[in-house]
Amino acid sequence: MSISIRDSIRWLPDAASEPTSTVVLTSPEHRFVDIRVLKDASDLGTSLDWAFAGISSSEIRDGVRHSTWRHVVDSRTRAPEILVDEGDIFPQDDGRTLETGRMVNPATGKLTNYEEVWTDLETEGIPEVNPDSDASTQQLRGRCVVLELNDAECEARGMAICLGRYHQCVVRMGDRFTAERWLWEDGEWKRKCRAGIILVPGPEHMSSATLSLGDEVKLTDTSRWRVVEIN
């Protein structure tokens, strides 16, 4: 599992830059939620650049790790399965990771070679209340809880991951889409971004002390999320 922060993106042959705050949470079973928020947006409602979730996989090709991210929900399309999202991964001497590949540059609409530099953060624990007492204990390392929503009748698909001090969630219901990011800081959960109006699971729904694998988290009569991973 990992918490990955993007440091820069470069559309070749242009210089590298980072116009977004991009965080990717990846679970032990390779589910991921990727949210990219524009740094210069005027408010939270207009800040979303791209958000998506799905399953990742990796293989070695000619001595190089090649990763593929299969999207199951995406802010830019109702047909995420048609997207191609893959790249080659190169560990760097400074501990960061260089990802190279080819995808559509949103500024030009053309397929373009890209380079992304990523930093992986330590998965830190947070205080967690014991349900059998008023005492709280500090997690030695961050826990991971993953919820999924999959309701074909309502055209709803979503994923929420709470990993250490980060929580991210994306969901699509028909043409509507919502993404949220929360961060544990100064002793409490603080929402860092939200786009959309769909009710989604927050950190308060993701306590590993009260949930078990297969449990259902019911937000509304038509929004039932299931625990698919807990570590």
Average pLDDT, the chain: 90
Cβ neighbours around 67 below 10 Å, total: 16
pLDDT score, position 207: 78
For the chain, the distance separating the N- and C-terminal CA atoms, rounded to the nearest angstrom, is 10
| Per-residue pLDDT band at 43 (split at 50, 70, 90) | low
pLDDT score, position 114: 97
Q: Kindly report, residue by residue over 118-158, the tens digit of the pLDDT.
A: 999 989 888 765 555 555 555 545 789 999 999 988 899 99
Q: Kindly report, residue by residue over 5-30, the tens digit of the pLDDT.
A: 999 999 999 999 999 999 999 999 99
Domains 2-121 and 127-230 share a fold: yes
pLDDT score, position 137: 54
Q: Which fold has domain 2-121?
A: Lipocalin (2.40.128)
How is the chain split into domains, by residue range?
Answer: 2-121, 127-230
Q: Which of 42-51, 139-148, 195-204 has the lowest mean pLDDT?
A: 42-51
pTM for the full predicted model: 0.90
Is the Cβ–Cβ distance between 180 and 190 less than 8 Å? no
Report the top-level CATH class of 127-230: mainly beta
Q: Which of 43-47, 70-74, 86-90 has the lowest mean pLDDT?
A: 43-47
**pLDDT above 80: residue 191:** yes
Spatial distance between the Cα atoms of 97 and 99, rounded to a whole number of angstroms: 6
Cβ neighbours around 125 below 10 Å, total: 15
| Per-residue pLDDT band at 46 (split at 50, 70, 90) | low
Q: From its phi and psi, is residue 214 left (phi > 0), alpha (psi between -120 and 50) or beta?
A: left
